Amino acid sequence: MTSPSPTAATPSTATTTTPSAIPSDADAIDLVFDLVREFSPSRNELPASTRLAERAEALGLHAIVDDTGNFVASTHADPLRSSPEYRDIVLLGHIDTVPGEIPVLIDNGILHGRGSVDAKGPLATFVIAAARLRDRLPPGVRIVVIGAVEEETPTSRGARAVVDRYQPIACVIGEPSGTSGVTVGYKGRLVVRAEASRSLSHTAGPDRSAADRVLAWWSRVQSRAATFASETPSPFRSLQHSVRTMHAADDGFTDRAELVAGFRLPPSVSPEQLKTACLDEAGSEISLTFVGAEVCFEADPKSTLVRALTGAIREISPETRPRILYKTGTSDMNVVGPTWRCPIAAFGPGDSALDHTPQEHLVLDEYLLSCRVLEQALTRFASEAIPAGSDQGQINRS
């Protein structure tokens, strides 16, 4: 059995703070350990959401699980409602993970477990920062923390359930960027399922199999996709596509084949353009179903929020040079960014190269540093967005 981190006591299920206490580093480690231990693959998040609500209440936040299964907490007032008395800073993470349970343990200051990086580490960072700031926010400002469900699926059901609930003055998305990174762009997405079937015939006959038809369609789509190539083919600016699953079978009467493919879309390509290309190449032989359509989203890298985050990184870790990142994946930023139209960026501890891997783990010193960076960044942003002594309605949204 491995030994726990020397920097903290062995995490326990009991809460270690009272509502009047400011969470310590030991409390922060206990929280993230407890959250990662509640395995919560997509569509099975309720136990983790319920447990995190209990922990957030013990840290002095107002917390609840909403009708969608999202964990929602706030520093002030009812977390499920906007209030004219408060301007909201929304910290939107996700509480679901991909499948594949990994034994949860702390070994030499490293937390191992599914979701430690993607994205329970960032979500725990949000809860700790909010709890530390609950009594230090300017009048009329509150923090809302959300642990959304189904972010790891094409539905993004949790984010879609809250997008009309709030009108925040800023939003931080909880995704791993490392303690020096601030992410301002995520590529769009489209997932397509192609199906073909035909009456079974001898393989020596002239008729193509269902699998042949699907593969021929995919070859045509790949050629069509090449026409969308960018003149500056950086990963973020290029169209990416891959086959996710392929299956072919027959029941003795009917030959069937199915291919599921995913596209990652740059700013220059919309989901509708790809849908049109796929349909044009399908003809009458292929049946198509589309899910997970999201447009690429780029935030303002010079916004007040991004400046607050990069400034906090420099202040907390003077030897670190902040990095502005553009990710080739998709996040809930794609869902809420176009509607909220506020300063927005993604931040959180962890190495995104470990996302979805059997080696997923979080360095706890990095996690604790991220808690301090976010705490400082939110303090900075709130003071710049609503200057001391100003009317709470006068907000700098730059």
Tell me which residues are annotated as active site: 96, 151
Nearest alpha-carbon partner for 305 in 176, 177, 188, 168:
168
Strand-pair category, 344-346 with 287-294: unpaired
Residue carrying structure tokens 């990416």: 240
Dihedral sign for Cα atoms in the order 199, 204, 208, 212: positive
Phi–psi pair at 281, nearest 5 degrees:
-85, -5
Judge contact between 197 and 214, C-beta under 8 A. no
Judge contact between 150 and 42, C-beta under 8 A. yes
Q: At what angle do helices 304-316 and 364-385 cross, to 10 degrees?
A: 130
Report d(CA 34, CA 213) in Å as an integer.
49
Judge contact between 340 and 171, C-beta under 8 A. yes
Q: Which residues of 296-326 are buried (b: 16+ CB within 10 A; e: fewer)?
A: bbebebebbbbbbbbbbbeebeeeeebebbb
Neighbours of 372 (CB within 10 A): 20
